């Protein structure tokens, strides 16, 4: 199983509640569209604002091929482009269990 976590810091000029809801809508909307997604949730930071990133996606895939299917799927690419326009930084990690 592959675990995939990406976290972001939102732009200061955005309404945080609206931006988090939009990211959640974009990414959870991929479940059922991209068959390799086994689980996916969008979580919001609740501690140490200004130090921690604002939100993250936590997803699981059966294998690296499934992660690649997700990464390169046109619907994910469109969602990622919209998210990139809302953030100032991004961090990611993928690991195998």
pLDDT tens-place string over residues 63-72? 999 999 999 9
Does pTM top 0.85 for this prediction? yes
DSSP characters over 25-42? HHHHTTBTTBTTEEEEEE
Instruction: State mean pLDDT over 29-45.
Output: 98
Asked if residues 36 and 70 have their Cβ atoms less than 8 Å apart, the reply is: yes
The answer as to CATH 3.30.70.100 being correct for domain 2-96 is yes
């Amino acid at each position: 199983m592959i675990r995939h976590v990406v976290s972001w810091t939102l732009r200061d000029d955005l309404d945080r509640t609206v931006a988090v809801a939009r990211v959640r809508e974009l990414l959870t909307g991929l479940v059922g569209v991209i068959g390799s997604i086994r689980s996916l949730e969008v979580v919001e930071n609740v501690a140490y604002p200004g130090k921690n990133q604002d939100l993250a996606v936590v997803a699981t895939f059966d294998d690296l091929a499934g992660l690649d299917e997700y990464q390169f799927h046109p619907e994910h690419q469109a969602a990622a482009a919209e998210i990139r326009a809302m953030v100032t930084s991004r961090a990611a990690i993928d690991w195998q269990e």
